[in-house]
């Protein structure tokens, strides 16, 4: 393609219709659109989100959004290879968004986690893509949030995998229905969790490399103790091995499903949409915009009064209208 030829943007409304019909082949176009930050692309991405909003769907998207996070080297990608295999054996379609640190020069992802997750490239019901963190250490870019929201309409499972450093723990708890934190035995991660205060975030805790024996059992006991220190929580702690023959994977799938079943997913997603809308508004308009709304609490009350089926761009537009921002 010549450098002076502008590629045609996909129609966001049409993409949304394809997702609502279960067309998994729309996934690459969805990712390309939401990662394009030009004004024209942003307008089409907003149209896409409107087309897959709960108000249009008649409720929340059916897909299970699973967040997977943990420190580098904990074995997340190897574990995800086994999880994808188990979900596909169960007949479920799977999309994986692997969040990589962003290149400061291009803004693109650096590590290419997709290459580390084993899957059958001929399987049309599996979609795996590396996405950029968007400039925040361990964080999740707006494009990844939007992609997860859209893909959950068509895919049975949408996984967002992050490197567990910096902002990612907070971000993943906002975007996912179920958060699995991965821990490597013998690494001291349980003590780090206690010190950093993120033990309230995981819905499922996973100790990898259970084939190491006693060291893995000790890590599991440490995590149970860490959970007790923050009070009663329905957080299951599992030990798994991703090395052949893999062990504990079916139990992990069952634990993720069980959490989704007992959770109020509608309330969790509604709270996430409103929090994201407020964060997007503040990022765009700063403290001046918040003052025009009467402060953050006034903004939260305004959002709470909006219909539960409104998408994030619609919520941002409501805030801008209240603030008198054209």
Q: How confident is the model at residue 188 (pLDDT cuts 50, 70, 90)?
A: low
Highest mean pLDDT among 136-140, 195-199, 241-245, 319-323: 319-323
Cα 304-235-164 angle, rounded to 5 deg: 80
CA–chain centroid gap for 9, Å, is 25
Q: Are 87 and 253 in contact (CB under 8 A)?
A: yes
What's the first-to-final CA gap in the chain, in angstroms? 37
DSSP character for 324?
Answer: T
CB-based contact 171:140 (threshold 8 Å): yes
3-state secondary structure at position 131: strand
Instruction: Report pTM.
Output: 0.88
> Is 38:7 a contact under the CB 8 Å cutoff?
no
Q: Dihedral sign, CA of 87, 90, 92, 93?
A: positive
Give the least confident one: 85-99, 106-120, 197-211, 290-304: 106-120
Per DSSP, the three-state class of 250 is: helix
Q: Residue 231 burial by CB count (10 A; 0-12/13-18/19+): exposed, middle or buried?
A: exposed
CA distance 4 to 26: 26
Mean pLDDT of 130-146: 72
Domain ranges of the chain: 64-263, 264-326
Average pLDDT, stretch 146-165?
A: 91
pLDDT, residue 199, reads 66
Q: Are 114 and 84 in contact (CB under 8 A)?
A: no
% of the chain beyond a pLDDT of 90: 55
pLDDT of 104 reads 38
For the domain covering 64-263, report its CATH number: 3.40.50.300
**pLDDT given at position 160:** 94
Q: Which residue has the higher pLDDT, 96 or 185?
A: 96
Instruction: Name every residue whose Cβ is closer than 8 Å to that of residue 294 and which is 6 or more positions away in sequence.
Output: none
Segment 133-139 shows an average pLDDT of 53
What is the H or E stretch that residue 94 is in? strand 94-100
Q: In whole angstroms, how far apart are CA 77 and each of 81, 278, 287? A: 6, 32, 40
pLDDT classification of 173: cutoffs 50, 70, 90:
confident
pLDDT score of 187? 64
pLDDT of residue 77 exceeding 90: no
- Rounded average pLDDT over 220-237: 75
CA–CA distances in Å: residue 91 to residues 87, 160, 197, 234: 6, 20, 37, 28
Query: What local confidence, expressed as pLDDT, does residue 290 receive?
Result: 95
CA distances in angstroms from 242 to 74, 78, 92, listed in the order given: 11, 6, 20
């Amino acid at each position: 393609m010549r450098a002076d030829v502008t590629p045609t943007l996909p129609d966001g409304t049409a993409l949304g219709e394809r997702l609502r019909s279960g067309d998994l082949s729309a996934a690459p176009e969805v990712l390309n659109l939401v990662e394009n930050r030009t004004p024209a692309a942003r307008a089409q991405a907003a149209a896409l989100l409107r087309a897959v909003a709960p108000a249009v769907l008649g409720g929340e998207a059916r897909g299970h959004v699973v967040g997977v996070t943990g420190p580098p080297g904990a074995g997340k990608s190897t574990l995800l290879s086994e999880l994808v295999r188990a979900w596909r054996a169960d007949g479920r379609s799977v999309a994986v968004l692997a969040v990589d640190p962003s290149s400061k020069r291009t803004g693109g992802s650096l590590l290419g986690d997709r290459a580390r997750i084993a899957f059958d490239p001929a399987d049309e019901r599996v979609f795996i893509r590396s996405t950029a963190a968007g400039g925040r250490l361990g964080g999740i870019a707006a494009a990844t949030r939007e992609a997860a929201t859209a893909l959950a309409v068509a895919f049975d499972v949408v996984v967002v995998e992050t490197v567990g450093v910096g902002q990612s723990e907070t971000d993943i708890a906002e975007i996912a229905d179920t958060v699995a934190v991965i821990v490597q035995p013998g690494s001291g991660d349980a003590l780090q969790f206690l010190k950093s205060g993120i033990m309230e975030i995981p819905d499922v805790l996973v100790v990898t490399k259970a084939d190491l024996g006693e060291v893995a059992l000790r890590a599991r006991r440490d995590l149970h103790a860490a959970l007790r220190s923050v009070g009663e929580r329905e957080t299951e702690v599992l030990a798994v091995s991703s090395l052949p023959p893999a062990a504990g994977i079916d139990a992990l799938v069952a634990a993720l499903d069980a959490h989704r079943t007992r959770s109020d997913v509608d309330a969790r997603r509604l709270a996430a949409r409103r929090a994201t809308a407020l964060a997007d508004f503040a990022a765009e308009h700063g403290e001046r915009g918040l003052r025009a709304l009467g402060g953050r609490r006034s903004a939260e009350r305004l959002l709470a009064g909006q219909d539960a089926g409104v998408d994030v761009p619609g919520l941002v537009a409501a805030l801008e209208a209240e603030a008198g921002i054209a």
